[in-house]
């Protein structure tokens, strides 16, 4: 029997949801019939609105999909202004203030505390600037990810931006693909860094070459069925297909139609295409794709470039993450700025947009490491740009503990969460920077912190993987983490081994310090941290270092999910001021 | 009014008559269970897997982990709360921190899922 969500989707879904959204915006929160709330919240996701967690009734997270993480400075300013005006809740966040934007691990933008009555105005502002929330959540083509500096980056096999634009135009708002069994995540990588992280997407296009009719052609190898969620991580499987850039839309449409028709609509926990690939194997998937979904004859895979990948690859010789100053193919420069846990105050966003415009930049990029890039800075302006005040905090040359830290949304807003995430990761990173000497050989160190097993912060592909848990300390429940080691992408993608379970959150920084000391003693400075972990087996990694209380203090150790908002003065559920009175 | 119950947002919470009632992330004490070898399982709820109604009780199976021993999996059926007055649809959730006894088989009026 199809799941309940499928029934709701059959009634209304896709572009049609919009008129209802506008009606509710007009009539107010209370106009949503109480017994239809769950159905409408599910449908609103298609238009990028996700209801926030218990205790925050009537407030929504809004996601804006920016293909390739690409915006113009003007668009960035619009986003900052919308955040400033509409993304304000009843209480400020002590770390980030009253209005902020989140740059996400899929190169999108998240705003919080959005109210229904403001949605039409926000949509109008977004759409007047060629931005949209369409399909940013829900069961369809999500934001397409890739290298934001495609066409500018010297480390590029081919420019994938035109391909991504075409996919975006073809599959957004397209009724044939609007209602899939589950989310559909696509990555197209044209660079040699591997920055699209195609390995963890439902459908991936990775740079490759192949001889066709005696001629060396550049294009992509196709992979299917990657994903990290639910303790069931999968790398996308190679289906042995090479496509030229022109062929990408047909094959991408074919694979997503195959998913539409064959994905599991009865059990949402089994719906992602990774499970279909488990069941069928890549050979059958390829065969069905060829027979029923693609008109031309598929070629076998070409030569990939994975050995060159540097993005989240754990290499010592090169860090491919875009942070810092990089020369473009046109002689200008792009400057990657580190944004700790991807969150930037609305005022800073507007200031950065103004600055980018003043320096003649035509492009802003958001990366999967939650950072921001300003492109097109002329060589003669570079020194001035680098000495601008905003770059002191959002640094092009950050400390590795700040540079490598990623965190998801967590108990601040997210229903699934087990623990507090972003504010805690900020405190971890600062404590580590102030208290732990970086061993020789470490220039880059990735800590990915996720609040639950959904794995939005990609915890399984980091040097230190943190996944939200609980434990007891002196009998009292406290927030905790499972700790994993040794994950990453690159030539040999690998998921972390989970080696320390249920470590109280205040003992995690001590664990990392102790582990780095052990690395420092055992390592010759040439071996990267990931290589060091790699040469130990799981047994050796268990108990290699000890969790320990230190001078680090954790203000969120209690159960932040029990609060209506973790940073409020009166935190109890009963103190929640929501749903908000339908004002203006 | 028939009682409508479902789990939403990938099992993040239990909804009764379109009101969010029970969250993941709570610790549940389980007694007389075969979830793990602990006498009392200290069970962290990570996702609602199945929901059913056995008037007046709302029952569910929860995915999660015993934080004492680390065993993870899905519980047998637990009483999550009860709808006392079906007309008004008022729901009273159980206190996760008190002791719960999961049961294997129940004849449940399954919701349409
Ligand atoms: C309100 C906050 C959020 C909620 C409720 C949420 C929900 C989820 C869920 C349920 C999954 C499991 C995926 C599945 O099995 O289909 C997931 C995975 C994921 N989400 Fe989120 N998410 C949130 C925020 C974010 C953010 C901020 C990002 C960045 C764009 C993000 C990116 C991802 C990624 C990268 C994965 C894991 C990879 C995968 O399995 O595809 N999520 N999220
Ligand atoms: S990983 Fe879990 S806690 Fe974090 S944003 Fe995703 S669903 Fe929420
Ligand atoms: Zn146990």
CATH of the domain at A43: 3.90.480.20
Q: Which of the two residues, B8 and A138, has the higher pLDDT score?
A: A138
Asked if the structure places residue A421 within a domain, the reply is yes
- Residue A331's domain comprises 324-386
Which residue minimizes the CA distance to atom 31 of ligand 1?
Answer: A456
Phi, psi dihedral angles at B21 (to 5 degrees): -110, -50
- In chain A, the number of structural domains is 4
Q: Is A58 an interface residue toward B (CB < 8 Å)?
A: no
Any atom of ligand 1 within 6 Å of the Cβ of A104: yes
Q: Measured between beta carbons, which residues in chain B are less than 8 angstroms from residue A469? A: 44, 65, 67
- Residues in A closer than 8 angstroms to B43, CB to CB, are none
Q: What does the block give as tokens for A489?
A: 């992408």
User: In this predicted structure, what is the pLDDT of residue B110?
Assistant: 56
d(CA A188, CA A471): 40
- Position B1 scores a pLDDT of 53
> Does ligand 2 have an atom closer than 6 angstroms to the CB of A52?
no
Q: How far is the CA of A458 from the centre of ligand 1 (A)?
A: 9
Q: Per CB distance under 8 Å, which residues of B are interface residues toward A?
A: 4, 6, 8-13, 15, 17-20, 23-27, 42, 44, 46-47, 49, 65, 67, 70, 72, 111-113
Distance A15 CA to ligand 2 centre (A): 26
d(CA A420, CA B32): 32
The answer, yes or no, to whether any atom of ligand 2 lies below 6 A from the CB of A508, is no
The answer as to whether A155 is a domain residue is no
Cross-chain residue pair A561–B23, CB shorter than 8 Å? yes
Distance in Å, CA A547 to ligand 3 centroid:
21
Question: Does any domain span residue A110?
Answer: yes
Q: Are residues A550 and A417 in the same domain?
A: yes
- Check residue A269 and give its pLDDT: 86
The pLDDT assigned to A359 comes to 97
Residue A573 lies in a domain: no
For residues A410 and A277, state if they share a domain.
no
pLDDT means over runs of 10, chain A (584 residues): 84 88 91 88 93 92 97 98 96 95 97 96 97 92 96 95 96 91 95 95 97 95 95 95 97 97 90 95 97 97 95 88 96 97 97 97 97 97 97 96 96 95 97 94 93 95 97 94 95 94 97 95 86 91 94 94 90 85 50
**How many whole angstroms from B107 Cα to the centroid of ligand 3?**
27
Does the pLDDT of residue B112 top 60, yes or no? no
Which among A277, A410, A454, A461 is the best mutation to test ligand 1's pocket, defined by most ligand atoms within 8 Å of the CB?
A454
Task: For chains A and B, count residue pairs whose Cβ atoms are closer than 8 Å.
Answer: 73
Are A407 and A538 within one domain? yes
Structure tokens of B27?
């610790």
Q: Is A249 found in the same domain as A343?
A: no
Distance from CA of B86 to the nearest CA of A (A): 14
| Long-range interactions of B50-53: CB distance < 8 A, separation 24+ | B50/B77, B51/B5, B51/B6, B51/B7, B51/B14, B51/B80, B51/B111, B51/B113, B52/B5, B52/B77, B52/B106, B52/B108, B52/B109, B52/B110, B52/B111, B53/B3, B53/B5, B53/B83, B53/B108, B53/B109, B53/B110, B53/B111
Backbone angles phi, psi at A386, to 5 degrees: -70, -20
Same domain, A118 and A187: no
Residue B113 pLDDT level (bands cut at 50, 70, 90) = very low
pLDDT digits (tens, 9 = 90+) for B38-86: 999 999 999 999 888 888 888 999 999 999 999 999 999 999 988 877 6
Q: Is the pLDDT of residue B105 over 70?
A: no
ipTM of this complex = 0.87
Q: Which residue has the higher pLDDT, A341 or B108?
A: A341
Interval B9-32 mean pLDDT: 85
Which chain B residues have a beta carbon less than 8 Å from that of A559? 25
* Interchain CB contact of A52 with B (< 8 Å): no
pLDDT tens digit sequence for A497-543: 999 999 999 999 999 999 999 999 988 778 889 999 999 998 999 99
CB-ligand 1 contact for A467 (6 Å cutoff): no
* Chain A residues near residue B24 by CB distance under 8 angstroms: 415-416, 418, 452
- A138: in domain: no
Q: Name the packing angle between helices A119-128 and A73-86 (round to 10°).
A: 170
Same domain, A296 and A346: no
Please report, for the domain that includes residue A200, its CATH number: 3.30.413.10
Note whether A120 and A19 are same-domain residues.
Answer: yes
Per-residue burial over A85-111, b if 16 or more Cβ lie within 10 Å, else e, is ebbbbebebebbebbbbbbbbbbbbbb
Please name the residues between 309 and 368 in chain A that touch chain B, using a CB distance below 8 Å.
none
Whether the pTM exceeds 0.90: the reply is: yes
How far B15 CA sits from the closest chain A CA (Å)? 8
Residue ending a domain, choose from A105, A128, A151: A128
pLDDT, position A584: 41
Q: What is the pLDDT of residue A15?
A: 85
């Amino acid at each position: 029997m199809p799941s309940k969500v499928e029934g709701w989707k059959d009634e209304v879904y896709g572009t049609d949801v919009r008129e209802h959204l506008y009606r509710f915006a007009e009539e107010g929160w209370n106009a949503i019939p109480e017994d239809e709330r769950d159905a409408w919240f599910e449908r609103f996701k298609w238009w990028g609105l996700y209801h926030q967690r218990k205790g925050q009734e009537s407030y929504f997270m809004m996601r804006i999909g920016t293909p390739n993480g690409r915006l113009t400075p003007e668009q960035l300013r619009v986003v900052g202004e919308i955040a400033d005006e509409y993304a304000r809740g009843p209480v400020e966040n002590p770390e980030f203030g009253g209005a902020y934007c989140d740059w996400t691990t899929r190169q999108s933008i998240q705003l919080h505390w959005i109210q229904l009555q403001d949605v039409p105005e926000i949509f109008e502002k977004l759409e007047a600037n060629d931005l949209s929330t369409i399909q940013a959540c829900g069961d369809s083509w999500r934001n397409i990810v890739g290298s934001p500096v495609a066409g500018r980056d010297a480390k590029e096999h081919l420019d994938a931006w035109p391909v991504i634009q075409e996919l975006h135009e073809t599959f957004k708002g397209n009724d044939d693909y609007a209602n899939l069994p589950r989310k559909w995540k696509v990555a197209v990588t044209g660079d040699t860094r591997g920055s699209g992280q195609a390995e963890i997407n439902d459908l991936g296009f990775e740079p490759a070459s192949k001889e066709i009719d005696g001629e060396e052609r550049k294009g992509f190898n196709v992979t299917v069925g990657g994903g990290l969620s639910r303790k069931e991580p999968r790398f996308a499987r190679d289906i042995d297909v090479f496509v030229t850039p022109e062929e990408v839309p047909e094959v991408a449409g074919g694979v997503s139609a195959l998913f539409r028709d064959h994905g599991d609509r009865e059990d949402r926990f089994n719906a992602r295409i990774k499970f279909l690939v488990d069941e069928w194997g890549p050979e059958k998937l390829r065969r069905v794709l060829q027979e029923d979904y693609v008109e031309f004859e598929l070629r076998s895979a070409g030569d990939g470039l994975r050995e060159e990948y540097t993005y989240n690859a754990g290499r010592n010789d090169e860090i491919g993450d875009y942070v810092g100053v990089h020369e473009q193919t046109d002689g200008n420069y792009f400057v990657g700025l580190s944004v700790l846990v991807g969150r930037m105050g609305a005022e800073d966003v507007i200031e950065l947009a103004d600055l980018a415009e003043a320096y003649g930049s035509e492009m802003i990029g958001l990366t999967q490491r939650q950072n921001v890039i300003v492109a097109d800075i002329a060589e003669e302006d570079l020194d001035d740009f680098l000495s601008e005040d905003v770059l002191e905090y959002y640094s092009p040359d950050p400390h590795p503990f700040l540079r490598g830290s990623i965190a998801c949304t967590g108990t601040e807003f997210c229903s699934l969460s087990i623990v507090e995430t972003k504010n805690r990761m900020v405190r971890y990173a600062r404590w580590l920077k102030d208290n732990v000497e970086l061993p020789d050989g470490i220039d880059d160190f990735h800590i990915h912190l996720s609040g639950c097993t959904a794995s939005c912060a990609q915890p399984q592909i980091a040097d230190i993987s943190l996944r939200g848990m609980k434990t007891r300390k002196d009998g009292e429940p406290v927030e905790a983490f499972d700790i994993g080691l040794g994950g990453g992408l690159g030539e040999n993608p690998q998921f972390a081994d989970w080696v320390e379970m249920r470590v109280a959150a205040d003992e995690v920084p001590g664990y990392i310090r102790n582990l780095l000391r052990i690395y420092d003693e055992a390592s010759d400075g040439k071996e990267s941290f990931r290589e060091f972990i790699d040469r130990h087996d799981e047994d050796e990694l268990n108990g290699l270092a000890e969790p320990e209380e230190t001078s680090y203090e954790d203000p969120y150790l209690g159960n932040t999910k029990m609060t209506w908002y973790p940073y409020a003065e009166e935190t109890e559920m009963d103190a929640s001021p929501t749903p908000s009175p339908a004002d203006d | 009014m028939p009682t409508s119950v479902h789990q939403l947002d990938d099992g993040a919470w239990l909804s009764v008559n379109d009101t969010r009632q029970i969250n993941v992330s709570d610790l549940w004490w389980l007694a007389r269970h075969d979830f793990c070898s602990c006498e009392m399982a200290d069970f962290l709820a990570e996702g609602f897997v199945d929901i059913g109604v056995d008037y007046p009780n709302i029952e569910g199976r929860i995915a999660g982990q015993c934080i004492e021993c680390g065993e993870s999996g899905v519980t047998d059926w637990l009483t999550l709360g009860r709808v006392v007055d079906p007309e008004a649809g008022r729901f009273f959730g159980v206190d996760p921190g008190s002791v719960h006894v999961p049961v294997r088989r129940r004849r449940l009026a399954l919701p349409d899922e």
